[in-house]
Structures are given as structure tokens and as C-alpha cells.
Structure 1
Amino acid sequence: MTRRGRQRVPATPDPVAWMQARGWQPFDFQRRAWQAIEAGQSGLLHATTGAGKTYAIWLGALHAWAQATRPGAEGAPPLTVLWITPMRALAADTCRALQAPLPDWAPHWTLGLRTGDTPAGERQAQQQRLPTVLVTTPESLCLLLARADAAQALGSVRLAVVDEWHELMGNKRGVQVQLALARLRRFQPGLCIWGLSATLGELDQALHALLGPQHAPAACLLQGHMPKPLCIDTLLPARIERFPWAGHLGLAMVPQVVAEIDAAASTLVFTNTRAQAELWYQALLDARPDWAGQVALHHGALDAATRQWVEAALRQGTLRAVVCTSSLDLGVDFQPVERVLHVGSPKGVARWLQRAGRSGHAPGRPSRISLVPTHSLELIEGAAVRWAVQAGHIEPRPSPRHPLDVLVQHLVTVALGGGFRPDDLLAEVRGTAAYATLSDADWRWCLDFVAQGGPSLASYPDYRRVMPDADGLWRMTDARLARRHRVNIGTIVSDATVTVQYQGGARIGQVEESFIARLRPGDCFLFGGRALELLRVREMTAWVRRADGQRPMVPRWSGGSLPLSTALADAVLAQFQAAAQGQWDAPELQAVKPLLAVQARWSALPTPGRWLAETLRTREGWHLFLYPFAGRHAHLGLASWLAWRMGQQQPCTVSMAVNDYGLELLSPTPLDWRAHLPRWLAAPAEADALQQEVLASVNASELAQRRFREIARIAGVLFQSHPREARRQRQWQASASLFWGVFSQHDPDNRLLAQARAEVLLHELEAPRLHATLQRLSQWPLQWQTLTRPSPLAFPLLAERLRERLSTETAAQRIARMVAQLERAADAPPRARRRPA
């Protein structure tokens, strides 16, 4: 998509006049951004969603460079502005916003888009000549850096903008961006870099991650505090379940959701998973068949044409509602959207704010987000996030520390993009926040790995990717390996996907191969809002036709299990404390009061300053329930660690269950937790010792192997796909297991093995958060409560374990019987409450 303005001599760009001509009054932060860009400063702009961050930077760029860049002999000026966005939908929307001033200010400039959705013909044209302004993603930018003429093609860039920096800075895609910006700065030492965001917690940390330790101190940090009404509320269910279990309420809220959609001009209905989006889209159409054509579905697995149609219809205001996932999460400007509904808690304060900002996306317009709870305890999260937002508590996003898989990939990319000299590139890499403390030993290992694959792969030609030439310049010269690297550039690793396509008809989208592999021809599943019958699977394509009158299965994608953030967990505990003190100001607390009353009567309410521990004996055995409120990942590590420590005291078999609030340990034989738990918690192990014990307590080898598959793909040991070849998931997994075994046996010091174990601790088990939780709770007294039946907080953990052990239907039946028994006990007079459940 290359756009050119009308060819005429532009007037001198005046941002203020241009905005006033459209009835807009520039904000102070926009004027300061224009001045900073004119002075050649880099920086970070943090302002309210819809306040005008894009034009704060874009109009400044036009004012600074539109007159200075004239058409060359070949037409438009060379690439001058590079705009990096994390999502394809946001990239297309950004292009539309940037186009508006071009005809008046820079008709000689061209504007282009480069993402995974860009047609092959346009990509080929960009290979010959890049536009003056290019909107792209981190992956596509790295592909540009892999061009042999990268220094010439990208050396003219004056401004690089990273939109929605909060979405990138805490993960490996953000590390990719850091490395790419460092490379661009080498091509153009005077490069101006700006980051944009609306939901950052620690701005200094974000600025440091964007610009690196050398450039951040002199950079500009702008904040746009704009008065923008924000409403965070909850759709209260007609009946509160005093003994909730995750996901059970869900679709019972459809009538209320329908009523809310009916009362608004346009609504986004966010879900946390694609499978949930498919279910809710179908449920809304079942409830209101007359809305066919007015309600749409949007998630990343759908075909690009379908997603683009939905986005265009949202802008035009022709859709009543769109059920979506994070595919519409970021900065997309859909002004007709009046409000946002969120099915289930987003589990983080920043995610709440980000998705709330999709409504009222304009300065001064109110934004409103309403929680649609999937179980009763989520009502407390609704009250908690409002409290956290008012207190300004937003989660920080620290940059990963020197992930070597990303660095190895970058070395090969730079070798393709003209080559490098190791000493020069090391200084460039250490100029980023992610690799500022990279050791000489790790650097030498990375160079050896791209040169020969380390000691265990040295005899295989495929791993001799980069070698120095006679002048000491490291390059990649093998054309076959170069093609393979370009196809696999990026840090987004997912399961192999199968294309879903009508027999003799249109392509619908993609679904995980692991899901399709469980189906036989004739089975039905729900995808793209349609009930489909599988006909056959050939060459990674599932051929289907419409199915009528059959109950569909729902496709499952990886991910979606977001843990409760620290900021939101603290806010939830604050709500429990308010309830314990008799403060029921929040409507959500009023609604959930029956549940909390039973919890207080049968046990106690968890509050900051004390740690609630419950014990219960049932026919299954001896139960321990703990409530650290540290998120499910940290609770998994804690539960495994406690079970392991108990196993060191006496032989025992312990099963466990975790959720975001707490954990359950169950033993069929008596265990005296009161005798040991206080001692372990009073003096928790040091961080390094705790990590080793946590690794010993879980199936660390299996977790690390799964993580290694991703690391090996990013580092180029494994290839998710070859040119014109799609690899099956089981082939990829088998290859990963083979490499894991080879490295473990013949190259035990391989840095990728160590990185896999470190990432398991950091991401799978959240060891730092676990250690911080134990340090904090070691100062809190334990409040022991002996139960005669499961409390409202304990019941979801029981249900979680049953669902893992039993089939869905059997578990639901048993859980329903348990709920009925507990409800009768809760309504019974006090003297009748002695019989164990």
C-alpha cells in the first residue's frame, strides 16, 4: 500500500495551523514533542489513549523534514521515517492516520506498509525501492536488515518510532527492536528515536529499555496528562454463586451482554482466548439471530481478508459488536466504538487500561470498560482494578536480560545485511539495555555458534552459517541457508498450524495442527463463527464444508492462561481487607457479600499482613489450602516446592491444584503441615538455593525441553519452516528432543540449555516473584483455620483438580453435586454445620 500526495509545492508545514483547521487545539505535550523533534532529540511520549500521540510525533517529523527532503532523480525521497508497530491491524490503521497530512505538507513523500499481510507484489516493489515512510512490524524490520544493501536502504532514516512500546519492551520482540534500533543508529548516527505508550508503569525504565544506557540520560520524557473520563464497572450477575469455579458462570451472562450491546452504537467484546471468542460469537448470534451481519468475529488465526473487512466495518460504524481477542488490543482508532465489554478478567491493570482505551478513542471522549465475570470471585477483581487505577498502580515491564537465542539470530541477520566486524558489533550490541552487561564469554560463544554450531554440530554444514572473509568481515554466503534464515526470522514461536479452507472455495484461516490431529473426517468443529465438517487433511490444509445440525467442537490455541499480575493481586487483597473491615462501598463487593460472609463464617478473609492457611480432612485425604495471591505460575512453583520439601521429611504422595489466588496440596495419608510449614516460611531459602529446589521439585526437564524448542527455533538450530515447505508439529518436536539430547550429552555447557532452564524459572514458575512472595510472607503470621467443609476460596481449587483428573462431563456433574451440598450447609442453622463434606 504505497500512497502519494498530490504533486504540488507544499506550504511551509505548520502543525498548529493544520490542527486548528480541523477544529483541534494542540495540547502542550504535542507542542513540546514538535520542539524536541525539531531539535533532534529522542525520547518517550506517554499520554492517555486517544490523546493524539501519533500526531505529536508525525507532525513534528513533517515539520522538521518535509521541506528538507526533495524528490530525487528517481522520484520520491528515500526512506526517512520508520514507524514500528507490534500488530498488523495497528500498522494498517497507522498508515491511514499518517496519510492525512501528506497531500498538504509532503506530496512528494510516499507511504508504504510492510507486514505479514502485505501482498507479494508490493513486497517485491519495496525490494526495488522503499517508500519515504514505512509502517512495519519488528519481524519485517529485521527482514529489511537482512538485505545485502541494508546500510544503503536504511541509512537515510531520520526518525524511528516504536508505537505501543509497552507491548514490546518486556519480551523478546522488544529485544529484537532494541537490536534493530542499535543497527539503524550505526547506519545513521543522528537517528531520532521515539517510543509511544499509554499504559506504562515505570517511565524511566521504559526509556532506558528503548534507547539504551548511553542515550537514555540525554533523552526527552514527555507525559500528556489529559483529562479523559474512564469508567470501569462490572455487569453483576442476577445470582451470586457462593462456591464458584473458574469459567462456570460465563455464558450465563449472555442476556446481560446482549442488552448492553443493544444499548450502544458499537461495542467490542474482548475475550482472553480465541476459543472463548468463538464460543461467545456463536452465543450472541444464537441469542439474537437478527444480528447476523451486524456482529463479527476477529482474532489472529482468521484470514487477513476477514480481519481487514471487520476493521473497515468498525471504522465505518456498520457493526453493532465485534467479539475479539488481543488482535484488536492496541492503539487502533475505531472512533464509533462506544464501549468495551471484557469476558473474564484480563488479569493485569495495564491490560484493563489498554482495552478500555479502545472505546472513546478521541481526546476528551469517555472510555468505558465493563467486566463480564466468568465466576463470582472475578467480581472482586473488578473492584480491585478500579482501586488500582485510582491509585496509579500499573505493572512494570522489565526488559529481558541478554537472551542469547535472539542475539544469535541477530548475528546471522547482520551477516546477511552486509556483514560485520565482531568488535564493532559487540559495542553496538552492548549499547542496548538488554545486552549492556553481556559477558565476553557469552559473546565468543555466540560467534562460535553461528560459525559452526558449537562443538556438537561442527561437522554439519548447515550450522556453518557465518564465517569471516579474508578481510575479517563476517558474512553469510550460502544462498540456501540465507533463504532459510529469512523465512524463520522472528521471535514469535507457535505450534504448527493447518490452513482451514472450504472444498473448492475460500480460505477461512488457520488452526493448530494438534487440534486437527484429534479429529477424523466427518467430525465437526467451530471456527470463524461457522460450524464446519472436516472432510480431509492434505499437505497442511484441512478441507471442510459447512455442517448443519451437529454439535461442534471448539478449536484450542496455545496461550491464554494469563497469571494475575502483582499490581492487581495486591489490589485484590486490599478489597478483601475492606470487606473484613466492613467497608462495602464497591458495588462488586456488595454483590459478592454472600460469598464473603460464608468465607468469614467458615474460615477467615485473607488480608495483607497475615497469611491464611486452611486444613480440611475429607474422604480423599488431608488437604492444605494456602492463599499467597501471587498468580498461578508462582503458585505452581510454590506448591511443587512445598510438596518436595515435605517429601524430604517423610515419604508421601501429594497432588496439587493452583489458581491465581492460592494452592491446594492433598495427601491420602496424614501430613502434619503445621509442624513444618511455619519453619520453611519463616526462613525461606536464598534466591539461588530456592531456584535449585524449585527445579528439583517439578518436572524441570520436560518444562525446559518445551522451552528449548522455542529457543532453538529462534537461534536457528531448528527451522519452523523451510521455503515452500511446512513442517509438521511432531517432526519439529522430535527434532527438538534430538538436539536437546545431543547438547545435554556432548555439549553440556551449551548456553541455549542454560537459557531454557533460566526461562522455565522466570516464565513458567516465576521464581523471582515466588522468592519475593516468600520474603514478604516470612514476615506475616500464619492464620490457621480448620475446616469441616470447603470454604468458598477452597472450593475453586477442589474443582480445578477434579477437572484435571476427570472428563469434562463427569467433573461438571460431580462439581454440581458438591455445590448443592455446600449451598445446603451454608443455609443451614449453625448447629447443623458439623458433618464433613
Structure 2
Amino acid sequence: MSASAPSPRPAVDAEAWGEAESRLEDWFSDRGWSPFDYQRDVWRAYRDGDSGLVHAPTGTGKTYSVWFAVLIEWMAEQIAAGRNIEAYDELTPPPLSVLWVTPLRALSHNTVTALQRAARDLRLPWRIEGRTGDTSYRKKKGQLSDPPSALITTPESLSILLSYPDTKEHLQNLRMVVVDEWHELMGSKRGVQAELGIARLRRWNPDLRTWGLSATIGNMDEARDTLLGEPDADGRLITADIKKDIQIDALLPEDVHRFPWAGNLGLQMLDHVLSELDTADSALVFTNTRAQAEQWYRAILDARPEWAGHLALHYGSLSRKQREVVEDGLANGRLRCVVCTSTLDLGVDFTPVDRVFQVGSPKGVARLLQRAGRSGHQPGATSRVTGVPSHSLQLIEYAAARDAMEADDIEARPPVRKPIDLLVQHVITIAIGSGFFPDDLFEEIRSAYSYRNLTRNEFDWAVRCASTGGSALKAYEKYHRIEKYDGDLERYRGMYVGTSDRLARRHRMMIGTITSDSSVEVRYKNGHTIGQVEETFISRLKHGDIFNFAGKTLEFLRIEDMKAVVQKAKSEPDGVVPRWLGGRLPLSNQLSHWIRRRLDEAAEGTFRGPEMAQVQSLMELQGKWSIVPTHDDFLVERVHSREGHHLFMYPFAGRPVHQGLASLLAYRMAEEVSISFTMSYNDYGFELLSPEPAPLRDAIAGGLFDTENLTSEIEASLNESEMSRRQFREIARVAGLVFTGYPGQPKSLGKIQASSGLIFDVLEEYESENPLLEQARREVRERQLEEDRLRDALDRIRDATLHVIDVPRMTPLAFPIYVDRLRDRISSEPLAQRVRRMQEELEEAARWE
């Protein structure tokens, strides 16, 4: 069933290593370069058999630090064997020696190109190929029978590889596994998936070296330990002593509205952006959502029609072919501007790019620095990111992000704690692959950092779930996915294997942790694929409806074989733009901290830097009508209007925390007196609106901000059971309890939700202690409500000086929260008209005071 383990690799001859390294030095010299000291440190650490994590600024050669290490080793082996490494035609390509794991398909394509270029320049016969969800079936099949020398893949594709019985044989000569952009994977289930895959590879090959590459992360030691796990937890951390020059600035609107709201500026900054783009050779315009990317692409093209062919759009829902055309156009300098989302966040080498713009809130420091690094992507060059505010208060965020960067205060990425749904998936993957004995697999999985505290009871439950679906689902044969071997070979007795080829094929289609609403392929009548949009959007369209997608104005014709058939619209009216879920990221702790620092200065009358000077009038009016809250303050504003009685509170803890806080405090006040609330929230604070005055003082005296009984009261105030039910859909899919459909025939979102909801109800009634149910509850608290941050916010509120201020009208801080509530009730055009009228009324009131 599996090949024997390879014998330990002999040490490389020191003299041959030196000759090979000298050849590489010549390669650098021929290009006018010289290796960085940290790159040489990586080469020698690799030579010594070490594993580790490389931390270096973007554009300073992290990729070559590990890639050249294995090439030096291979050249040294050829030299030691007496082969002429100058004779390209006489050298045999090595077997699969390097597995390179990347988080993004765009990064995979770019990495293949970069590694191929280096091997070709050194005249080494290495075959380098990629294997992702975009790779054709024919090519994937060929890679299984004839693997390349280096394979660039994703965590999902690595798991799929492990699900084939002969994978061990193909990987027996593996020298190194590299995890690129580890900071992006760590802290997610995809990162855990990579950990599990590497644990299997290490078991097959104890001499395997593991190296990670990372640019921006706050907990570097923990990142190394998480990647390496056991027994390499004491691996190397090699940090480049290179100071990368990064500039953060912002475009300043001519008129800062003292009553800002999200969308009040946005595209009104288009002329400012165009003026900057006119002076750039090549630029990236980052947006936080795909819908926003579509809008900005259309606006730029309408304003600069002569840029057609030199302006492009890039995000994950577009077809692979379109994305690759854009990536190639950036790399060769053909494209002048690309409007994009996070799909171009990471290590892609677009050297021609000299300007980066961030539309809207940066949300986090690391995120903004990562995007800045897309410009000046070479040693010695300056990376610059320019903020484009979508409302006035975001000018404070750009200034705060610059402060955080200068203080080197970067967000940490805590590792995920033993997700049971992924454990079940991995158990099935290994069973249908090489099979497993429980004792062996348990120890192997515990060598992955995220499962280091996995108990044997938890592991045994995962095996039972993979075998029978658990006690509540065991009557259903479709959940019997693995079983103990019952053949004639004694040495395999007790080994778990897959139950059938049919279930194995279905499982491979389900491998992965990325879950989203069901998507529908969009294609022209001739069959040419444009990309994918969510089913919920397409379901609202009727024949003849016009919508904007992939930078084109399309007319919807029909649904055919679960595909949306479209044609180019005959005219160019403003079509609707698809909306995708999951577009609102929370404000990070670090950025929130530095925003409050800037507010401290504003409260004292100090407005340092161009961004703060621009919002001075806004902050001064806030202080005049209320106060500018500092770190030591907790501000509550009370306003009475025709709508009722408003409470505005400002913890500055991010949208998810404010959602939880608003619900919790409303629940606690309703316990004091019968009262109902309408809630609204943004990253800075939240609003509670009630028909009668809220019993605020009595509630505060009764422990309104206490953390006692927090978890149970969150559950009561937010209907956590229903939130857990929705979260369970993702967990059930990862664990393989819900099948989402075959390629080209996906199940509808409604069917998937109904299936997972039915399983949820069955488990709650008959197996209430099911670990997957507990995981759903925990993920709601940790990921959706950020319970730890909510608890910290309450602790900070209790320690702060409370300011309850009655104000005659909404203040600059309150206004955007109020508008956010209106947005859910009023369409965009009437909303804009109403908001402008309210702004004018408030500005008039400010002028008269």
C-alpha cells in the first residue's frame, strides 16, 4: 500500500558546496547585485539541515533565499559526483524535490515564473510547475504520473495530493517544503490545513526541511513555532537587517465634511486619484470589496477612455484567464492601472508598479503595509501607499496607521485552536490516501502546532465521525466514509481506509476550508467564461436586466445548466453591481489604539500632520458640542429627535465588537425596564434608539458594563443559537457532512442551508455534546462577536471616566453611525439626498453657534 521510507540524505561535500555557492555569487554579480547577509544565512542553515522562518521586507529576495539554498545543494551534489554542471544537456532533471505552498492562485502563477527564470539563468534542468484549483485536469493527471522537480501549490491542493495512495512514492525524494506568505495563512483554517499536510510529509521523510516566508506579522516567534510544530519547534528565525522605506500618505479632499458618512467622499475623490495616476508609470488601486472595485474601474475608464487596454480589473471571482492576463500585463509594464482587491495583496513581483492607492479604511496596519509593498518591489526602492478616504474620519486612520508603522506595532496572528471539522476532513483524506493506524496518526496530528493539545478522546471522536457520522447520524450510509481494513493482509489489520472509490472521489471535491455562498458561473452565449457571482445576486435578475461585472456592462439572458448566460449590453447604462458577502473587515486592535492616540492629541488642540490638519474643524466642532474622547474617557451621547431617544457610545473597538456590545447593553437595560431598541454600529461606536428614554443611569449602577455572566448573556441577547446554526453550515461542509454538489452542478444555497440546518437540529436533539456543535458556538463567539475583544472593551469602559452628555443634535462622531442605520432602510439615491439635507441643516446650526 505504500513505499518504504527513504534512507537519510548524506551530507553535502563542503568543497562542492563552496563551488556551487561561488557559481551563484557569480550569477548575482553578473546582474550587478550582491546577496544579502540574511540570504547567505538561510543557505547555510539549510545546508546544516535546519528548518525555519525567514522574515524580510517585501521586495528584498525572500523567495531566492530558500530557492537558491536547494539549488546550491543540488549543484553541489552534481559537482561531488563528478558531473559537469555547465553541460545542461547532460544533466537529468531531479525528481520532485521542492513543494512550495502559497495562499493565492495569483501568487502561484508568479512564483512558477520566478523560480523558472532563476533555474533557467543558472542553466539547471529543473522542471517547475504549478498545481492549484485553476490547473487543468489533464495537467494534474500528468503531474501525478510524472511529477516536476518543484511543485507550487496551495494548502487545498496539497491535501488533495495526500488523498492519493501513491503520493508517498512520488514524494519520497522531497528535500524541502516552503510555505510562502505564512503570515497570511497563519490564523486561519487554511494555515492549519498546511500544518497537517506538512506533519504528514515530515512523517514520511524525517529529513525534510520546512521553511516559511513572511513579511509582516507581530508574533514572529509564535509564527515560526506554529509552522514548524514538533520536532522542529526550535528551528531558525532569520530576520533581514534591511530597513525598507515605506511612505503612508493620503489624498486630502478640498472640503472636509464635518458630518461625514461612509460613501460621502469615495468616488468624489476620483479627480484627485486621476491626477496622481497621470504621473505614475504603473499603479494599483486597492479596494476593500469586489463591488467597490467594479465601481472604481468603471469610473476611471469613463474619465479616461483612452486608457482602454491599459486599465484592468482583478479579483478572485473573475476567470483564471482574465486574472493571468492582468498579472502578466502588470509584470511586463503594459498596464497603467489595475483596480483590485486582496487578490494582489501578497508577494507578487510587479516591479513596474510605482504607486499604490488604498480606497477607504485600511482596517489594519499589516494589511496597509502589505499593500504598500506592491510598489517599489525591489531592494533599495521606496514603497508608497496613498490613502483615498471614503469619508472624513478615515483621514485619522491613515495618520494612525503611519504612527503604528513608525512604532513597529503590527498585528499578531494567533494560531487557530484544533478545529474539529478540519480534523474530520483530514482523517478521511489520509484514509483514502495511504490509510492510517490510529495510534500513528494521532501522534502525527499532535505534532502540528494547532493540535498539540488534542486529546485522544477528541481524536477518537473524529475517527468515529468519519466512520459513521457520529452516534446521531450512524444510520445513514453516506456518512460511513472510512472503515477498518478487513482484507487478507495481516500487516494492514486495524488500518483505516476509504469505504469506496465513489465516496473518495466525492471527498476530493470537498477538500478545503474556504466556504462561501454558492456561486454561479457567468458566461457569454458562445461559452466563454467571465467569472463567478453569488447565487443570491443572480437569483434576483430577470431576462434583460443590466449589471456590471468584470469591468463590462452585461445583459442577463437566462440560467442554463446552473450557469448565468449573458451578452454584452447594447447600451451602456448604469447597471447594478453584484454584492458579495463578507466584505466588511473589522478595525484591528492596533489601528484602533493609534486612532485613540490621535484623538488624545486632538482633545488637547494638537493636529499633527496634514491629515489631522484637514479634520481640525471636524474635531473642534465635536469638542464644542460634546467632547473628543481620549484613551481615558468613555463617551455616551444622548440625543432626542423625532425618531425617539438616541444613545451613541464610542468604544472604538471595531464593528463586530460593537454589534455584540449593542445587543448586550440593550438586553441588560431591557432587564431593568420593558423597552425595545433599534441598533446601528460602525468601527468607532454604536447607537441604541428607543421610543422612551433608556434607563441608563440605573443600568450603570446595576452593572451595565460588568463582564460577569458575559457568555450566557451574549447568547441570550444575540440569539446565539441561530448564529451558531448559520456558522454550522461552514463547519458541516468542511467536515463533509453536507455535499455542495458536483463540478458544474452546484447545489443551491437554500438546499445547502436546509441540509446543514436539519443536521444541526438532529445533533442538538440527540447528540447535544457533539464537538462540531461546540465548535460552531465557539467560532461565533471568537470570530463573529470577537468575545475576547468584547470583554476587553468592557474592562476598558469600566476603568475609564464616563461622560454622559446630552447634546441638542447629532455630533460629527454620531452622524456616520446614524447614516449606517438609514442605509438599511433607504435606497442609495434617496439616502444621499436625505443625508445631504441633514448635513446642510447641521452645518447651518454649527455656523450659528
Partner amino acid, structure 2, of 1:680: G
The reply on whether 1:466 has 2:479 as its aligned counterpart is no
Deviation at 1:254, TM superposition (A): 0.6
Partner amino acid, structure 1, of 2:430: V
Partner amino acid, structure 2, of 1:18: W
2:366 is aligned to: 350
Q: Secondary structure at the match of 2:412?
A: coil
1:755 is aligned to: 775
Q: 1:203-246 deviations in whole A, cap 9, x for unaligned?
A: 111111111254222x1011113132211000001110100111
In structure 2, relative to structure 1, the CA distance for the partners of 1:90 and 1:255 (3 Å cut) is same
Deviation at 1:505, TM superposition (A): 4.8
The reply on whether 1:596 has 2:619 as its aligned counterpart is yes
Q: 1:733-779 deviations in whole A, cap 9, x for unaligned?
A: 12111111221222212111111111011111100111112122221
Deviation at 1:106, TM superposition (A): 6.4
Instruction: State whether residues 483 and 723 of structure 1, in contact with CA within 8 Å, keep that contact through their aligned partners in structure 2.
Output: no
* The one of 90, 93, 108 aligned to 2:107: 90
Deviation at 1:13, TM superposition (A): 4.6
The reply on whether 1:693 has 2:713 as its aligned counterpart is yes
The reply on whether 1:398 has 2:398 as its aligned counterpart is no
* The one of 294, 301, 310 aligned to 1:278: 294
Deviation at 1:579, TM superposition (A): 1.2
Partner amino acid, structure 2, of 1:292: A
1:126 is aligned to: 143
1:12 is aligned to: 20
* The one of 204, 213, 237 aligned to 2:253: 237
Instruction: State whether residues 43 and 222 of structure 1, in contact with CA within 8 Å, keep that contact through their aligned partners in structure 2.
Output: yes
In structure 2, relative to structure 1, the CA distance for the partners of 1:67 and 1:31 (3 Å cut) is closer
The reply on whether 1:804 has 2:824 as its aligned counterpart is yes
1:701 and 1:58 map into 2 onto residues whose CA distance is: 49
2:180 is aligned to: 163
1:558 is aligned to: 581
Q: 1:369-404 deviations in whole A, cap 9, x for unaligned?
A: 000000000000010000000001111100110110
* The one of 24, 30, 38 aligned to 2:33: 24
User: Larger deviation: 469-478 or 166-175?
Assistant: 469-478
* The one of 97, 107, 110 aligned to 2:127: 110
In structure 2, relative to structure 1, the CA distance for the partners of 1:376 and 1:104 (3 Å cut) is closer
Q: Secondary structure at the match of 1:12?
A: helix
Instruction: State whether residues 46 and 200 of structure 1, in contact with CA within 8 Å, keep that contact through their aligned partners in structure 2.
Output: no
Unaligned runs of 5+ in 1: 1-8, 831-837
2:698 and 2:483 map into 1 onto residues whose CA distance is: 61
Partner amino acid, structure 2, of 1:46: H
The reply on whether 1:580 has 2:603 as its aligned counterpart is yes
The reply on whether 1:438 has 2:460 as its aligned counterpart is no
Q: Secondary structure at the match of 1:345?
A: coil
1:226 and 1:340 map into 2 onto residues whose CA distance is: 22
The reply on whether 1:823 has 2:840 as its aligned counterpart is no
2:727 is aligned to: 707
In structure 2, relative to structure 1, the CA distance for the partners of 1:208 and 1:489 (3 Å cut) is same
User: What does 1:788-803 align with in structure 2 at a 5 Å threshold?
Assistant: 788-803=808-823
1:187 is aligned to: 204
Instruction: State whether residues 62 and 106 of structure 1, in contact with CA within 8 Å, keep that contact through their aligned partners in structure 2.
Output: no
Q: Secondary structure at the match of 1:215?
A: coil
2:672 is aligned to: 649
Q: 1:590-641 deviations in whole A, cap 9, x for unaligned?
A: 0011110110000000111121111111122221111111100011111111
2:785 is aligned to: 765
The reply on whether 1:136 has 2:149 as its aligned counterpart is no
1:728 is aligned to: 748
Q: 1:457-506 deviations in whole A, cap 9, x for unaligned?
A: 11111111111114000110301100000011100011111111111252
* The one of 609, 613, 617 aligned to 2:636: 613
Instruction: State whether residues 362 and 397 of structure 2, in contact with CA within 8 Å, keep that contact through their aligned partners in structure 1.
Output: no
User: Larger deviation: 373-382 or 533-542?
Assistant: 533-542
* The one of 27, 38, 51 aligned to 2:47: 38
Partner amino acid, structure 2, of 1:24: W
2:716 and 2:522 map into 1 onto residues whose CA distance is: 42
* The one of 417, 430, 434 aligned to 1:414: 430
1:188 and 1:258 map into 2 onto residues whose CA distance is: 54
1:581 and 1:43 map into 2 onto residues whose CA distance is: 47
* The one of 273, 279, 284 aligned to 1:263: 279
The reply on whether 1:486 has 2:495 as its aligned counterpart is no
Q: 1:191-213 deviations in whole A, cap 9, x for unaligned?
A: 11111011011111111111125
2:490 is aligned to: none
1:208 is aligned to: 225
2:367 and 2:700 map into 1 onto residues whose CA distance is: 35
The reply on whether 1:310 has 2:333 as its aligned counterpart is no
2:743 and 2:336 map into 1 onto residues whose CA distance is: 41
Partner amino acid, structure 1, of 2:294: E
Partner amino acid, structure 2, of 1:44: L
Partner amino acid, structure 2, of 1:57: V
Partner amino acid, structure 2, of 1:255: D
2:705 and 2:432 map into 1 onto residues whose CA distance is: 55
Deviation at 1:681, TM superposition (A): 5.3
Deviation at 1:675, TM superposition (A): 2.6
1:678 and 1:719 map into 2 onto residues whose CA distance is: 51
1:464 and 1:821 map into 2 onto residues whose CA distance is: 66
Between the two proteins, what is the percent identity of the paired residues?
48
The alignment of Structure 1 onto Structure 2 pairs a total of residues equal to 817
Deviation at 1:825, TM superposition (A): 0.6
Q: Secondary structure at the match of 1:622?
A: strand
Instruction: State whether residues 235 and 370 of structure 1, in contact with CA within 8 Å, keep that contact through their aligned partners in structure 2.
Output: yes
Deviation at 1:543, TM superposition (A): 0.9
Deviation at 1:252, TM superposition (A): 0.3
User: Larger deviation: 814-823 or 784-793?
Assistant: 814-823
Unaligned runs of 5+ in 2: 1-15, 84-88, 487-492
1:333 is aligned to: 349
Partner amino acid, structure 2, of 1:675: D
Q: Secondary structure at the match of 1:597?
A: helix
User: Larger deviation: 806-815 or 590-599?
Assistant: 806-815
1:56 is aligned to: 65
In structure 2, relative to structure 1, the CA distance for the partners of 1:654 and 1:600 (3 Å cut) is same
2:726 and 2:74 map into 1 onto residues whose CA distance is: 48
The reply on whether 1:77 has 2:77 as its aligned counterpart is no
2:262 and 2:704 map into 1 onto residues whose CA distance is: 28
Q: Secondary structure at the match of 1:805?
A: coil
1:680 is aligned to: 703
Instruction: State whether residues 66 and 105 of structure 1, in contact with CA within 8 Å, keep that contact through their aligned partners in structure 2.
Output: no
Q: 1:118-165 deviations in whole A, cap 9, x for unaligned?
A: 122211110212111111111111111111112212232110110000
User: Larger deviation: 796-805 or 185-194?
Assistant: 796-805
Instruction: State whether residues 416 and 475 of structure 1, in contact with CA within 8 Å, keep that contact through their aligned partners in structure 2.
Output: yes
User: Larger deviation: 534-543 or 770-779?
Assistant: 770-779
Partner amino acid, structure 2, of 1:661: Y
Deviation at 1:16, TM superposition (A): 2.3
User: Larger deviation: 462-471 or 182-191?
Assistant: 462-471
User: Larger deviation: 602-611 or 332-341?
Assistant: 602-611
Deviation at 1:438, TM superposition (A): 1.2
TM-score normalised according to structure 1 size? 0.95
1:482 and 1:738 map into 2 onto residues whose CA distance is: 24
1:681 and 1:777 map into 2 onto residues whose CA distance is: 10
Instruction: State whether residues 521 and 535 of structure 1, in contact with CA within 8 Å, keep that contact through their aligned partners in structure 2.
Output: yes
Partner amino acid, structure 2, of 1:456: A
TM-score normalised according to structure 2 size? 0.94
Q: Secondary structure at the match of 2:115?
A: helix
1:549 and 1:297 map into 2 onto residues whose CA distance is: 18
| Coordinate RMSD, CA, aligned | 1.8
Q: Secondary structure at the match of 1:778?
A: helix
